[in-house]
Amino acid sequence: MFQAGGFFSTLKKKATFFKKFRFYNDYTIFVGTYNMKMSKHIAVFISLFFIVDASGQGFYNRGVWKKHRVEWSGGLGASNFLGDLGGRDRVGSDFIYDLEPTKTNFAASFNHLFYLSRKVGLRSNITYAKLSADDKLTKEPSRNNRNLNFQSHIWEASVVLEFQVKKERRGNIYNLRSSTGRRLGLKSSGIGIYGVIGIGAVAFNPKSRDENGEMTALRPLHTEGQGITYNHPFLGVVEGPKQYSRVSVVVPIGAGVKIPMNRDWGLKVELKYRFTFTDYIDDVSGVYFQNNVIAENYGTTAAYFADPAIIGYATHGPEDGDVHGSESFLAQTFAGQIRGDATDKDGYMIAMVSVYRKIYTAKRHRRRKTIRRVKASF
């Protein structure tokens, strides 16, 4: 008959043996070779704890995430602008419905992540991207006739919370098998899913290309009459809008997946949209200003970029939206006419593929370099 006292006495004698095989890994592993007959009750007890998941269910690894709570990553990706210029072949739509795939540009980022808990981390990011748009790419008549274009190299600094919806499961450094050659049931790497939201700042400098292909910075040209005051013969004193800042608050929000390659390295695929607090990333926001007044204050170059609209009559087809058909309209702009949509702030999205590396911040357990396989027999 099985005696409880004998059971715990035998278990206590073997405790020091098990401690010798505690590896610093995602799993705490108990293995051993027994040269004596054991009660089948003890064998069953040991098998229950043969492999213990490091998610907090094991004896030793409840706080294992604290030992690798720092992560560095860097990546390359693609960016796309969502604002007043270019877009789909229809009147401007909000959000991604106005996306123009042909104006996808290059982006890059460098990031540092510090885990506050097992599933929540604080991440700082430095991101570079190029944004651009062109009215010539849309067949929507009013925007095509507006004939504006821009490009801007942007730099973004942000801090986001990264919260794990499904924590990634990293692989193991040991190829553990039993005496029969059977793998000991270790879980392989698993993909993680996460979301991000935060706040930051973006610096931009919109430029435009003239008919000769030369790039010109737009902000110094005051293309919407920023900061200009003049006397109108009928309206009296007319003041333009205030000059805009080239720095704006940005709110990044998105999601991604983590694909671990081994214990230390992995890949991240992430898509984030940025809500901004400016409508001037493309230098277009409100209404046309008196063009001759812009010319008097800032020259003919400023007047051209303020209103490069195609002057004359244009036609478009009612069915396919092409620039041929039956309907005609006067392609002439005037002061006070809508140039952009001031009620809808600019935004942009970036898709990024990054390589990440986890950095261990706690003293590692000493590993035996000569041992690569540990066999267990029962």
Structural domains for the chain: 4-64 (no CATH), 70-359 (2.40.160.20)
Distances (CA, A) of 338 to 4, 99, 222, 341, 360: 87, 21, 16, 7, 56
- Residue 274, beta-bridge partner list: 252, 348
Average pLDDT per run of 10 along the chain, which is 378 residues long? 51 45 37 42 41 38 73 96 80 68 95 93 97 89 88 98 87 56 56 96 95 91 94 88 96 95 91 96 94 93 89 45 43 80 92 93 52 47
Q: Quick one: pLDDT at residue 157? A: 98
| Sign (positive or negative) of CA dihedral 222, 227, 228, 231 | positive
Instruction: Report the relative pairing of strands 236-239 and 229-232 from DSSP bridges.
Output: antiparallel
Q: In 3D, which of 130, 192, 185 has the Cα closest to residue 167? A: 192
Considering only the C-alpha atoms of the chain, give the largest distance between any 2 of them, rounded to a whole number of Å: 112
- For residue 294, what are the contacts with CB-CB under 8 A and spacing of at least 6? 221, 222, 223, 225, 228, 302, 303, 306
Q: Quick one: pLDDT at residue 17? A: 41
To 10 degrees, the CA torsion angle through 93, 95, 96, 101? Answer: 70
- Residue 21, beta-bridge partner list: none
The b-or-e profile of 21-40 (16+ CB within 10 A means b, else e) is eebbbbbbbbbeeeeeeeee
- Residue 269, beta-bridge partner list: 257, 353
C-alpha span between 109 and 145 (Å, rounded): 36
